[in-house]
Amino acid sequence: MTRAVVALGSNLGDRETNLRSAIADIDALDGTRVVAASSMVESHAVKPQGVDETAPDYLNAVVIVDTTISALALLDELNRIEAEHGRVRVERWGDRTLDLDLVTWGDETSSTERLELPHPRAWQRSFVLVPWLQADQDALLPGHGRVDALEASAASADLWHFAAPPLLPGTLPVALRAAL
């Protein structure tokens, strides 16, 4: 079993339904089980030229999975799920119904044409790190160390909470459990 982290985002269509449906699809993969989920947060769209406040805002979350499939097989399944949810790849970092990024797969580090692990920009993205810490307060990003020590993990000013029931039924994110 390998523990992997998947970041989810959506800024087109019914964003909440897109994320919830994608999580159910990930959990339904053979050999894969969603074991933790963050709450949902909103953020402005990030484009190659920077933040684009004129684009629809993103709804973001992170899930942690235990899986028996390889990193490339998991990536293929994530790409398939994106396509089934209407993802069309027209422009780099363009608006999308669903974005599923494989952030980590165990502690593996690699760089190929198809997959770079850990995700090359995860360490800079508060919309990945803040939800990740909600799902796992002891999170480690290979090559970067503890997620809570990364500058972007404290950059919650560019995120805002999205009020919704938990993504994983019967659970609350770590940060919310601690507050109760």
* Catalytic status, residue 3: no
Q: What is the pLDDT of residue 153?
A: 83
pLDDT of residue 174: 46
Q: Topology of domain 2-179, per CATH? A: Alpha-Beta Plaits (3.30.70)
DSSP 146: E
Encode pLDDT of 42-60 as tens digits: 998 888 777 878 889 999 9
Estimate the crossing angle of helix 15-27 against helix 71-84, to 10 degrees.
140
Q: Determine whether 99 is an active site residue.
A: yes
Residue ranges per structural domain of the chain: 2-179
Q: Is the pLDDT of residue 92 over 60?
A: yes
Given the residues 96, 114, 125, 136, select the one marked as catalytic.
96
pLDDT 10s digits, 75-91: 999 999 999 988 676 66
pTM comes to: 0.89
CA angle 87, 49, 123 (to 5 degrees): 75
Beta bridge partners of 117: 110
